[in-house]
């Protein structure tokens, strides 16, 4: 669109700088019956950007299964809610803070943690666990070490200060993230079923209250920035990165939870992306009401802030509430006790408009429906790329004598090595309810004061998603389901964080669509719905996008914590078996990538019927106390999984197999498999149950000694495995 064809008084460049397209501005003018002023333009920019409106993704997101017998609240609120029995609920969500973390890694990651914590305690839940899913560029990239250190420090700094344990997550490296790292944060909280709080404003004349920290100029246009590609000048966007204060967040958490006990809150909304703009509009929209706000009453950190700045600031540690007017003084006293701002800044109206006044002047008047219901929704053009074809791998080129050296090379690699250097920087034991700490398939956290717990896991394989987006989407869901099963928990629901490149490119939009299709199939088959989540698009720099990364956070319930499983081997003489069939799928495997430096071939397909049957069999055996330890077989294959069990348990294993092509057997990434450790007395029972349930079970090893030994010849000590598995991060970060 040339400037000469621009028909509006508002400058075209001003509209473009707000991330709005020509036709979107036309729609604004049509809806208002006039051109917007600057404040109104900023509000539309915030509400209609990708980060807040999901205008490119919501059509497809609606196809995900979101209901289930334990689902109390699905997508559409600050976080999802599931029933975990006895009047308790788990509240959880995952969200991205990708762009801010690339620009300023410490504050970007820290405020990502702070934001997701607020989403959870806004619902009335006390947060009990944090997790993360992190993606960085290749380790030799000059920026990676700086970004890794900053992000890890930011996550630890915020989580440790506020006193919420960081209990799990994942960290991976790949060249596709050189220009756009991913920082996805997840929080789980516990609440009572009859004490869940929602965001719909109600009660004409009820006071609208601002609580928390004062508003500054940090984070202005943060949401808009998060909805745009990067270029060589992205460092200039540092002013759009928010600055967090975990100590204030702790005060805010406690004050909110205290007020919630008093039944004074009618509606509550976190001021996250787009700050006061999104929180006020979302509350009004959900309640089908209007809001009138006097911006002069908003607590300010700096003088002479404009209406535009106040509405678009993303200063942290702030909430917006509608409260019972009869309890206003009570509420004010609680927040003053916690040394937090408490200011009545407006009221609920019947106009269905957002009206903003400042110094006696009307700064904005916008119908709520234009901002929300009438926001753009696109069914973007998309093309589905054919999945990568199977490549033939000549097994004869592999020397059996290289199995142990290949194992060591793989288990030393940054994508398969121990993350201990990372999680030791997080306080994972604070609150004293962490039952299974980081490093296992899933973290397990006790529901305080009970004998039940929740199992939590995050996962995704972007390489799978790139080479076959449909199967990759299936896999992302299934991997968390498998991890939760392996912990001894019943998987209940997931949250997602959909990280993709520019959706205006048909091939990128095609990846998104196919991942959604795959996720939908897995969720439907496994009764494992998506109840919350986030979409992060435009993860590109200079036109180069990330691999499709639909990060998944899964949550399950363990009714009896005495039945909790972990991956460490327990006792000499026990038997190790494989649940599920092994066919030696080496295409696009970690073995091929790490050992042969090749990323090619087809992605392992998942038979969801087998997946469900194998998983429920394992869970049933755990319920019957027939297993000593369980580990899912994921990236890297069977031998990596056995090595991880040896490392965790500090015990060796004697493997006896007779395979013509042992590399494929040991490193193939066939799906729907578990490793189980069973006592001799329970072995026959499991074999018998497996036969009755059509479960493929293969005995492959015995827990023995201090070495991992293959047949009678090849071996490596567990001590060396531990050393090689842990050395990467220590060396990398100290160089």
Residue 173 phi, psi dihedral angles, 5° rounding: -125, 140
Q: 1: which residues sit within 8 A by CB, 6+ positions away?
A: 12, 22
Strand 674-678 with 575-579, pairing: antiparallel
Q: Which residue matches tokens 């950007």?
A: 49
Widest Cα–Cα separation across the chain: 87
Q: Which residues pair with 358 in a beta bridge?
A: 361
- 86-125 burial, b if ≥16 CB within 10 A, otherwise e? eebbbbbbbbbbbbbbbbbbbbbbbbbbbbbbbbbbbbbb
| Cα 503 from Cα 525, distance rounded (Å) | 28
Q: State CA 80 to chain mean position distance.
A: 13
Whether the CB-CB separation of 546 and 182 falls below 8 Å is answered with yes
What's the CA dihedral at 592, 598, 600, 601 to 10 degrees? Answer: -30
Q: Is 51 a catalytic residue?
A: yes
> Of residues 18, 97, 99, 475, which has the active-site annotation?
97
Give the chain's radius of gyration (CA, Å): 26
| Cα 550 from Cα 519, distance rounded (Å) | 9
Closest CA to 455 of 434, 431, 478: 434
Whether the CB-CB separation of 435 and 564 falls below 8 Å is answered with yes
Whether the CB-CB separation of 700 and 577 falls below 8 Å is answered with yes
The enclosing H or E element of 297 equals none
| DSSP label at residue 385 | P
Q: Which residue matches tokens 């049957």?
A: 613
| Cα 638 from Cα 632, distance rounded (Å) | 9
Q: Is the dihedral of CA 663, 667, 673, 678 positive or negative?
A: positive
| Cα 81 from Cα 101, distance rounded (Å) | 28
Q: State CA 392 to chain mean position distance.
A: 35
Q: State CA 551 to chain mean position distance.
A: 6
> Of residues 51, 221, 467, 585, which has the active-site annotation?
51
Q: Which residue matches tokens 């980060």?
A: 51
Strand 166-173 with 126-136, pairing: parallel
In this structure, what token pair is assigned to residue 24?
């979107």
3-state secondary structure 487-502: CCCEEEEEEEEEECCC
| Cα 131 from Cα 446, distance rounded (Å) | 15
Q: Is the dihedral of CA 480, 133, 668, 408 positive or negative?
A: negative
Which residues form the catalytic set? 51, 97
């Amino acid at each position: 669109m040339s400037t000469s064809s621009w028909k509006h008084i508002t400058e075209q460049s001003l509209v473009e700088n707000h991330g709005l397209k020509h036709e979107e501005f036309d729609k604004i003018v049509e809806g208002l019956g006039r051109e917007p002023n600057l404040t109104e333009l900023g509000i539309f920019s915030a509400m209609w950007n990708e980060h807040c409106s999901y205008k490119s993704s919501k059509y497809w997101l609606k196809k995900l299964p979101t209901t289930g017998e334990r689902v109390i609240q699905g997508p559409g609120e600050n976080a999802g809610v599931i029933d975990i029995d006895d009047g308790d609920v788990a509240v959880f969500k995952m969200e991205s803070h990708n762009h801010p973390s690339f620009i300023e890694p410490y504050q970007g990651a820290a405020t990502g943690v702070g934001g997701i914590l607020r989403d959870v305690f806004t619902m009335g839940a006390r947060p009990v666990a944090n997790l993360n899913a992190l993606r960085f560029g290749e380790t030799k990239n000059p920026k990676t070490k700086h970004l890794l250190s900053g992000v890890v420090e930011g996550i630890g700094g915020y989580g440790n200060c506020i006193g919420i344990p960081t209990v799990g997550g994942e960290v991976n490296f790949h060249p596709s993230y050189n220009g756009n790292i991913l920082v996805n944060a997840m929080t789980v909280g516990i609440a009572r079923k009859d004490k869940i709080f929602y965001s719909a404003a109600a009660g004409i004349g009820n006071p609208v209250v601002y609580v928390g920290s004062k508003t500054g100029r940090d984070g202005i246009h943060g949401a808009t920035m998060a909805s745009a590609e990067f270029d060589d000048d992205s460092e200039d966007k540092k002013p759009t990165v928010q600055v967090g204060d975990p100590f204030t967040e702790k005060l805010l958490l406690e004050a909110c939870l205290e007020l919630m006990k008093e039944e004074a809150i009618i509606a509550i909304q976190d001021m996250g992306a787009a700050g006061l703009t999104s929180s006020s509009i979302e509350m009004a929209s959900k309640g089908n009401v209007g809001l009138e706000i006097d911006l002069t009453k908003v607590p300010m950190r700096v003088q002479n802030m404009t209406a535009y700045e106040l509405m678009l600031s993303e200063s942290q540690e702030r909430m917006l509430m509608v409260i019972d007017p009869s309890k206003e003084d009570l509420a004010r006293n609680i927040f003053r006790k916690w040394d937090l701002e408490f200011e009545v800044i407006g009221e609920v109206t019947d106009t269905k408009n957002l009206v903003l006044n400042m110094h006696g002047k009307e700064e904005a008047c916008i119908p709520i429906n234009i901002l929300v219901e009438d926001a753009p929704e696109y069914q973007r053009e998309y093309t589905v790329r054919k999945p990568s074809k199977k490549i033939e791998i000549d097994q004869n080129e592999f020397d059996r004598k290289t199995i142990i050296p290949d194992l060591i090379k793989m288990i030393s690699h940054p994508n398969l090595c121990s993350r201990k250097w990372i999680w030791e920087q997080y306080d994972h034991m604070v609150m004293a309810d962490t039952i299974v700490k980081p490093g296992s398939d899933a973290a397990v956290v006790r529901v305080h004061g009970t004998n039940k717990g929740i199992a939590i896991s995050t996962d995704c394989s972007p390489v799978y998603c790139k080479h076959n987006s449909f199967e990759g989407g299936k896999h992302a869901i299934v991997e968390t389901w498998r991890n939760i099963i392996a912990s001894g928990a019943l998987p209940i629901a997931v949250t997602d964080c959909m990280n993709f490149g520019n959706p205006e490119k048909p091939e990128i939009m095609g990846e998104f669509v196919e991942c959604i299709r795959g996720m939908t199939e897995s969720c439907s088959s496994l009764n494992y719905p998506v109840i919350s989540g986030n979409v992060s698009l435009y993860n590109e720099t200079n036109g180069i996008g990330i691999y499709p990364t639909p990060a998944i956070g899964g949550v399950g319930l363990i009714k009896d914590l005495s039945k909790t499983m972990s991956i460490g081997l327990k006792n000499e003489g026990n038997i190790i078996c494989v649940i599920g069939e092994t066919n030696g799928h080496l295409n696009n495997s970690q073995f091929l990538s790490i050992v042969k430096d090749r990323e090619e071939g087809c992605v392992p397909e998942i038979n969801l019927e087998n997946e469900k049957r194998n998983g429920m069999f394992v869970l049933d055996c755990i319920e019957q106390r027939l297993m000593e330890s369980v580990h899912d077989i994921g990236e890297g294959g069977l031998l990596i999984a056995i090595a991880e069990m040896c490392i965790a348990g500090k015990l060796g294993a004697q493997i006896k197999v007779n395979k013509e092509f042992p590399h494929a057997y040991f490193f193939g990434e066939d799906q729907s498999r578990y490793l189980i450790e069973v006592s001799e007395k329970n072995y026959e029972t499991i074999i018998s149950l497996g036969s009755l349930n059509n479960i493929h079970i293969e005995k492959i090893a015995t827990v023995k000694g201090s070495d991992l030994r293959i047949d009678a010849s090849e071996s490596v000590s567990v001590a060396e495995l531990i050393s090689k598995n842990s050395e990467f991060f220590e060396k990398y970060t100290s160089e």
